[in-house]
Structure 1
């Protein structure tokens, strides 16, 4: 008999594209709304977006129609979703130390909203056995 699935949801964000980051934060928000814990791990370009604090303006390159629709419908920005997740108390946001080093972003970590920094060994330990994993 196998062990029961973890009630935790894990989101691995690699791409910094607005739509992918929005989708990842939305998945985590849905999980926390259902009372589940969520962990979001930031790598490479997603990490860079957070370090640069580019969380407010939707930027759908070449798709102004989507940007206009997104804004006219009052869709939440990345910052609004992140604030919701933080306020829930059920979400952990973590940055990858390897990606941070590759990006040369160490100087930007003091002002970032990323409270936890981990390498792959720790990430693998924390996410072992989690079946609800999303890679974006």
Structure 2
């Protein structure tokens, strides 16, 4: 059964500043629980196709993801290649102008590898993505 996670936050920063941070995988250790970033494979000229490896705080398992969409100032999309006991994980971070800031929607879908565990992964991912989204919003607003 497909599980869904949907997180919405707001940043006082304009969409182009929020997008710039989310689209540049090398910035993630500056604002998220990612401790270290490695590029396994470069993407095209825009970055689509990049395979990134994240070392996350509190986790021994590495997270490998592939960037599948970069729509300037509007959307970042990626898929999970390995690192969690889930399948078909696909996530998008959408940016919409909101007054002088940005409405951020970070949403994903996945299937559990083990039947009956989807609800648990959904709860964990909801908390984790909420933390990432709030950190992204705050860092963009700080102007750093």
Q: What is the TM-score of this pair, normalised by structure 2?
A: 0.25
Larger radius of gyration: 1
Q: Larger relative CO (CA 8 A, sep 6+): 1 or 2?
A: 1
Q: What is the TM-score of this pair, normalised by structure 1?
A: 0.26
Higher helix share: 1
